[in-house]
Amino acid sequence: MQALIFDLDGTLVDTVYAHIFAWQRALAEAGMDIEGWCIHRRIGMSGGLFTRAVARELGRDISAPEADALQHRHGELFTQLLPDRRPLPGAMELVRFLRLSKIPFGIATSGKRPEINASLEALGLGQETVVIERGNVTHAKPEPDLFLACQQRLGIAVTDCYVVGDAVWDILAARRAGMLSIGLLSGGYGEDELSRAGAFRVYRDPADLHQSLDELGVYPER
Amino acid sequence: MQALIFDLDGTLVDTVYAHIFAWQRALAEAGMDIEGWCIHRRIGMSGGLFTRAVARELGRDISAPEADALQHRHGELFTQLLPDRRPLPGAMELVRFLRLSKIPFGIATSGKRPEINASLEALGLGQETVVIERGNVTHAKPEPDLFLACQQRLGIAVTDCYVVGDAVWDILAARRAGMLSIGLLSGGYGEDELSRAGAFRVYRDPADLHQSLDELGVYPER
């Protein structure tokens, strides 16, 4: 029996570009001008690593209170920019299929509440869903902790878990967790970036993945 | 003597992510939900082709008045989202260097006035700069018309022009114009997407290109 462990933003909900733009504006308001593409390529890594990367880019330090203020302002702007969450094509159908087929799955995201609540709601994911979030682990992606915590909660062997994500950080964290991974283009990375990082397969979006579950040997228990 | 023909958005100014977000919102307001990454990969192509691509994605027609209204609303939202334009790292230094060195260069953009005015101003590009815009040609990228019009205005042979752009549409239009092209990562495409499309070299941003002009055989007249 195999399990699917999903990233959330850019993998199941179409939120990456709002996150990029909210980060860019929050940083600019604080006098830190960072190019959009540099933010894009760092979305999905832990907030601590993200801040360190931004600091390196700017050639200055960012203090812990400054980082907290940025994160808070990002959350405000994100909610303003994207009051509604939109599931990516096929995401709702895929999780419904997995649930009905009793194929184990969970969510493992670097995101925090309350930002992730609206996404889980938009996907129709209720209390019964296994969700591992930033606060549940010491280190976020690209450390393997989120995926390993999800795998343990699901009770499925590491070698039977597939990670599904849109960022190279998902792919890297999956490798470090000893799991195979599947890349989705729906977060705006190129196919080759995901393949080169180690994704076993790359699909367009959740709908494309759903159509291709047979290629992964994922099917309902008989 | 060689010439450089630059795309504008994502190549010299950091505007791609604001364009994506403005398009996504303008389309959503009109009841057309399109994923961010699908818009991202079509930014920079002509408005007509963009609209056709969106229509295909949605499985419906978009009428000419509807397309005009979308374009107008996109412009409004873009200006709201990004009242100030920010040159990409090294862009101002690069164009200043080219001007002082008397290395011919021009801008060829699928954009229109008034959207592009603020970008040209932010780059310190005055009236003397050769700028070919959407309205100057019949077909925008990926047709070669913009680049060929720029090349003719500069009076430099096609084979001596390098196109510099961030999107596969720039690279494709350059090939169709018979010009070599250079990809920049600053629009958020992956390196391999640009190389596979035919970019002769791929650099991070204008600063990285500036450092690498020798690799291209571009240098001041003695």
For residue B197, with 0-12 CB atoms within 10 Å meaning exposed, 13-18 middle and 19 or more buried, which class applies? Answer: buried
A 10 A CB-CB count for B165 gives 32
List, in sequence order, the alpha helices (H) in B64-158.
Answer: 64-81, 91-100, 115-122, 145-154
Contact call for A37 and B187, based on CB within 8 A: yes
B208: enclosing H helix or E strand: helix B206-211
Q: At what angle do helices A16-29 and B16-29 cross, to 10 degrees?
A: 130
From the list B36, B191, B192, the residue facing A188 with the nearest CB is B36
pLDDT tens over chain B, length 222 residues = 899 999 999 999 999 999 999 999 999 999 999 999 999 999 988 888 888 888 888 888 899 899 999 999 999 999 999 988 999 999 999 999 999 999 999 999 998 888 889 999 999 998 899 999 999 999 999 999 999 999 999 999 999 999 999 999 999 999 999 999 999 999 999 999 999 999 999 999 999 999 999 888 888 876
CA dihedral sign, ordered A191, A194, A199, A203: negative
Whole-angstrom Cα distance, residue B105 to residue A141?
43
CATH number of the domain bearing residue A111: 3.40.50.1000
Q: How far is CA A215 from the centre of its chain?
A: 22
Q: Within an 8 Å CB–CB cutoff, is residue A192 touching chain B?
A: yes
Residue whose structure tokens are 């913009």: B146
Whole-angstrom Cα distance, residue B99 to residue A89?
48
Q: Are A26 and A10 in the same domain?
A: no
In chain A, residues 130-189 whose CB comes closer than 8 Å to chain B: 185-189
Q: Are A34 and A92 in the same domain?
A: no
Pairing of strands B3-6, B161-165: parallel
Q: Are A68 and A89 in the same domain?
A: no
Query: Cβ(B108)–Cβ(B148) under 8 Å?
Result: no
Q: Per residue in B27-66, pLDDT tens?
A: 999 999 999 999 999 998 888 888 888 888 888 889 989 9
Residue whose structure tokens are 């680049």: B147
DSSP 8-state symbol, A215:
G
Q: Are B10 and B20 in the same domain?
A: no
**In the prediction, which pLDDT does A147 show?**
98
Let me know if residue B222 belongs to a domain.
no
Q: Which of B30, B53, B81 is the last residue of a domain?
A: B81
**In the prediction, which pLDDT does B222 show?**
62
Residue whose structure tokens are 């179409």: A14
Contact call for A37 and B16, based on CB within 8 A: yes
Residues spanned by the domain of B33: 16-81
Let me know if residue A109 belongs to a domain.
yes
pLDDT tens over chain A, length 222 residues = 899 999 999 999 999 999 999 999 999 999 999 999 999 999 988 888 888 888 888 888 899 899 999 999 999 999 999 988 999 999 999 999 999 999 999 999 998 888 889 999 999 998 899 999 999 999 999 999 999 999 999 999 999 999 999 999 999 999 999 999 999 999 999 999 999 999 999 999 999 999 999 888 887 876
| First and final C-alpha spacing in chain B | 11
Distances (CA, A) of B98 to A2, B122, B221: 58, 17, 11
Q: Which of A81, A109, A130 is the last residue of a domain?
A: A81
**In the prediction, which pLDDT does A194 show?**
97
Q: Per residue in A81-140, pLDDT tens?
A: 998 899 999 999 999 999 999 999 999 999 888 888 999 999 999 889 999 999 999 999
Let me know if residue A58 belongs to a domain.
yes
**In the prediction, which pLDDT does A199 show?**
97
